[in-house]
Chain A
């Protein structure tokens, strides 16, 4: 654990003096600056209404598996992660984008999947090879929705 913290601290120090460029095979590359990804993955503004659906759709984001969110018409919200209500008051847009894209970049031991990563997996099922959980625009849509949760 101490080792993790040390590496984490080292990563933060490194990030604060330089940018990290992450480039994957099938996903667009992005830059991590400090604790976030400041630039949109697509350049197209996210659609909050579509993003809300990504949050509860079991086949795409399924955020509700682990998080409570102000989506009252959906039954059964998980209790693994923090409540998403007010999440935009706790994090900036750039920080939230990084946490959706690859949460392990901020917390190496988290249960939270990287929603926009397509490499580096162990025993990946064939049908998922070269795929990320969400597409780039779905990330931006979801982010637009989360930013409404002040």
Chain B
């Protein structure tokens, strides 16, 4: 936080005009990323004005602390190969621009789907000869947030045909499967009742275009799978593990439901 504030203060002090322009740009981007796709609504549109405001302004969006973490790690060499992400991929703004819209995707080498977190860790173990980062660690969240942030504003576009089709079908089945003591499927809240209040909270469509997302309830950034686990526990069902095939398949289906929505990472939600 301190580092970022200092940096922002410096930007203001040295190049006031640039900073103001930057702020204007931030607002414009904020509006663009929150644009609705036809009949599909981002969680942004259900959020309060205050929460939307936090997301719209990059300087007040706490999720940018994780973007900063990822940016630092991007050029840090780790592992026996002595390589950093930057050594192979160069400027993330170029090389990672499409990554945030297209995952999860089918990978031939593993014969199943892979999401961004898993892609990052595969790069670490296979290419960097470094240890995989733990799920929900500040490093993996930071890198995932940084990578997906490169796609901000671009429409989500995942492949669900060809070899991905059977996994997509499993994700869809998961979404419609009742579970837990409350015996509810994802679809009962997020399809049949999106926009309706459940006690004090408005149910959203459950879109994931803003993940990893800074959740005020968590006080930090969290992954899509952490959110899936939370939902599963709320209906008193046994959650799956972060990174499980079940959640990656579900992630593909849910990403597809939000096809066309602009990537908002790091979004801010309640």
Contacts and interface: CB of A to CB of B under 8 A. Distances in A.
Contacts of B236: 124-125, 128
Contacts of B196: 78-80
A80 B196 CA distance: 6
Interface residues of A, number: 24
Nearest to A127: B236
B236 to A, nearest CB: 5
A113 B179 contact: no
Contacts of A64: 199
A124 B200 contact: no
Contacts, number: 67
Interface stretch (B72-80, B93-101, B131-139, B181-189): B181-189
B181 A113 contact: yes
Interface in A98-150: 104, 111, 113-114, 121-126, 128, 131, 133
B238 A65 contact: no
A58 B234 CA distance: 12
Contacts of A44: none
Given A78-B197, A124-B180, A111 B192 contact: yes
A15 interface: no
B178 interface: yes
B45 interface: no
Nearest to A132: B181
Interface residues of B, number: 23
B237 A131 contact: no
A131 B181 contact: yes
Interface in B165-216: 177-184, 188-189, 192-193, 196-200, 203
B233 interface: yes
Nearest to B246: A123
B180 A121 contact: yes
Contacts of B192: 111
B198 A78 contact: yes
Contacts of A66: 198
A125 B238 contact: yes
A125 B237 contact: yes
A64 B193 CA distance: 15
B199 A76 contact: yes
A123 B199 contact: no
A76 B200 contact: yes
User: Which 6 pairs between the two chains have the least Cβ-Cβ distance?
Assistant: A76-B200, A111-B188, A122-B179, A128-B181, A123-B238, A113-B182
Given A79-B196, A121-B181, 19 more contacts: A65-B199, A66-B198, A77-B199, A78-B197, A80-B197, A111-B184, A111-B189, A113-B182, A114-B183, A121-B183, A122-B183, A123-B237, A123-B238, A124-B238, A125-B237, A125-B238, A131-B181, A133-B181, A133-B182
